[in-house]
Every structure is written in C-alpha cells, then in structure tokens.
Amino acid sequence: MSKRIIIANIIGVIVVVLLIALGGYFYIQNKNYVKTDDAVVSADMMGVVAPTSGILTNWDVKDGKNVSNKDVVGKVSDGKREIPVDAKMDGKIIKNEARKNQMVQAGQELAKEADLDHMYIIANIEETDLKDIEVGDSVDITVDGDDDTTFDGTVEEIGYATNSVFSVLPSNSTGNYTKVTQKVPVKISINQASDKVLPGMNAEIKISL
C-alpha cells in the first residue's frame, strides 16, 4: 500500500471522527440547552408626569440622576399654588424631556425613570422548546454591549400567551393557513450586570435544562 493511500485513509478516519464529534456536540447542545438570540435587555420603567397644567417653576432632573420613590423633583404652578412633581419609583432618570419654566399639561410625561439595579432579559422562545423550560433554570447570558462577559441568570417567569396574541397585524382572512411556530416571552433575571448593559440592548441566552 502506497504512502499516498495510507495518508488518504488516515485523513478519512480523522474526518469521520470529527464529524461524529461534531454531531455529538450538537446533539448534547440541543438535548441539554435552549438557545436564542431573539432576546433583549429590559427594566421596569415609569414616567415622571405633571400633576396639573401650568408652569414648571422648579425642575431638578437630568439624565443619569438617581431618584427614590416619592422624591420631589419639581413643582408646577397653576397660577394659584405650586404642586410638587414626584418620582414614582426607585430608579435612575434615563430620559429628561422637560426644562424649567416651560408650560406643561396635566399628565404630560416630563421624564422617564428605570430600575437599572434589577434589569432582566425578555427572551422569545419557540413553543416547541417551551415544554423543557422551568422557572428556576439557570441561564448563560451575553449582551451585545458587553460581549466579552457571560452573565449568570435565572428563568423567572414564563409567559401566558404567545407574542402573536398581542400582534397589531390583522389575522389571515383569506382561508389559506400556514402553520407558523409561535414564540412565548420568557423573563430571565441577570445577575450583577455591568454598567455597559443597558435597557434595549440585544442579548443571547442559553438555558440549561
């Protein structure tokens, strides 16, 4: 047997072994994990709103300011009295939409605050994978804004309806039906998120089953 045939046989064996190893890897991944990149960083948010119509005579708000629930951050004068504007939750101002001495309307959102200390991931999981997921499952999380770090997480909640239930698109009325795999939102806590992780960023998750 020539050396060329021997080398070809060795290469063939190596290729077969690699294919078997690769197949085994993907089997284990599919059997023991659920993965998706259809996920986004979220946080609880509330608006700081004007309690009445009038002039914003005092406004102590800027982007990045930490506030606590019921903190007075401004005052609105209706011409007869000054009414305080207060924060509605513990959090950080992520968007200031007002300035001192401007005219405001009752209920107008003057700023947006978010709880950045307790951010979480909303991952859209295909219905066919949902049966294997349970509250308490551990999760590996990577976020595009800090993709050098893998964060630990835990499945906190599993949605009670698919995303399509809340879709604004009209249902198909033509009589033609095509089965489409639906997705269900799953809430995942993210532990010790870095300052680089912000609401709205894309994420990838891997849930251990």
**Predicted pLDDT of residue 29:** 55
- Over the stretch 30-88, which tens digit does the pLDDT of each residue have? 557 899 999 999 999 999 999 999 999 999 999 999 999 999 999 999 999 999 999 99
d(CA 106, CA 115): 24
**Taking a C-beta distance cutoff of 8 angstroms, is the pair 40, 187 a contact?**
no
Banded model confidence at residue 15, pLDDT cuts 50, 70, 90: confident
Which residues have a Cβ under 8 Å from the Cβ of 146 and sit 6 or more positions away? 194, 196, 197
Helix H or strand E segment including 15:
helix 3-32
d(CA 33, CA 205): 10
pLDDT of 171 over the 90 cut: no
**Which two three-digit tokens encode residue 78?**
């209706």
Q: Which domains does the chain have, with CATH numbers?
A: 34-43+119-208 (2.40.30.170), 45-116 (2.40.50.100)
Look up residue 96 and give its DSSP letter: E
Banded model confidence at residue 197, pLDDT cuts 50, 70, 90: very high
For the chain, the average pLDDT equals 88
Number of H helices and E strands in the chain, helices first, is 2, 14
Is pTM beyond 0.75 here? yes
Look up residue 128 and give its DSSP letter: H
The amino acid at 25 = Y
